[in-house]
Amino acid sequence: MTSIDQKLADTQNLPDDRKIAIDRVGVKNLRYPIQIRDKEEDTLQSTVATVLLTVDLPEHYKGTHMSRFIEALHSHGPVIHIENIRDILVQLKERLHSHNAHVEFEFPFFLEKKAPVTHARGLVDYTVRLSATLTGNQLDFILTVIVPVTTLCPCSKAISSQGAHNQRGQVTCSVRFGKPIWIEDLIRMVEDSASCELYSLLKRPDEKAVTERAYEHPVFVEDLVRNVALRAEANPEITWYRVEAENFESIHNHNAYAFVEKA
């Protein structure tokens, strides 16, 4: 402790007589540059995460030391993976004398995709969330991807002599796993469950192909979550999943929604 620290009051360590423990306290909406490893190129993709860092606070402490959260995060550098997330959590527990610690990184993740016919290249962005809680020595890690997709209505196709309505939807898929799962593989699992995946760059032959692909693979929002769930069940590394799908309806002034979670 420096001489300056010795002269300043440490208000956070003062006792509190209200006898109410706090489940989570810390910093939220911290923007931080990180690097995530790509599967195909085996390189590091640079992005910016919105970070949440928290610990529990015993009832006898008035407050926590917010600066220590930033110190713990910064000490591990920008590369984020499962092992150093555990290290961040261990350091948070040690620095803040807590029983459990929680961290969440949410960030845009980009994939280069080729159009189905012309193979024109473009980048598609997805939202990824890494969420981990360390309680004692037990780590709970959840990987979440938010994936935009196309869905075409089976009912509309069945009752219409010409065409069928389709729309863009969004699937939020969260998993726990045994061995680590690539972000790209989880995204692909969701996209394969929809009527068609999305692309950022399409020429006219590509637009024809994706339109016909969606028409040939109609799915209700219920079908969408069930399709993802079946693929998750077939993956031996996935031990738990939660799938939400929301269709931004093109012929209604409301959205369609479905949710399924592994018991």
Residue 107's nearest CA partner among 52, 69, 148, 150 is 52
Per-residue pLDDT, 9: 67
Q: Is 1 domain-assigned?
A: no
The Cα–Cα gap between 201 and 192 comes to 19
Structural domain of 196? 10-261
Using one digit for the tens of pLDDT, what is the confidence trace for 93-111?
A: 999 989 999 999 999 999 9
Per-residue pLDDT, 47: 96
Q: Is 153 domain-assigned?
A: yes
Using one digit for the tens of pLDDT, what is the confidence trace for 47-92?
A: 999 999 999 998 887 888 899 999 999 988 888 887 789 999 999 9
* All residues at 6 or more sequence positions from 25 whose CB lies less than 8 Å from its CB, including other chains: 54, 55, 56, 57, 63, 64
Q: Is 132 domain-assigned?
A: yes
* Structural domain count of the chain: 1
Using one digit for the tens of pLDDT, what is the confidence trace for 110-156?
A: 999 999 999 999 999 999 999 999 999 999 999 999 999 999 999 99
Share of the chain above pLDDT 90, in %: 83
Per-residue pLDDT, 18: 85
Q: Is 2 domain-assigned?
A: no
Q: Is 4 domain-assigned?
A: no
Taking only Cα atoms into account, the Rg of the chain, rounded to an integer number of angstroms, comes to 23
3-state secondary structure of 253: coil
CATH number of domain containing 57? 3.10.270.10
Q: Is 5 domain-assigned?
A: no
3-state secondary structure of 12: helix
Is residue 198 pLDDT above 80, yes or no?
yes
Strand 44-57 and strand 100-114: pairing? antiparallel
Q: Is 184 domain-assigned?
A: yes
The reply to whether the predicted model has a pTM over 0.85 is yes
Q: Is residue 263 exposed (0-12), middle (13-18) or buried (19+ Cβ within 10 Å)?
A: exposed
Residue 148's nearest CA partner among 177, 124, 184 is 124
Mean pLDDT over 155-173 rounds to 96
Q: Is 3 domain-assigned?
A: no
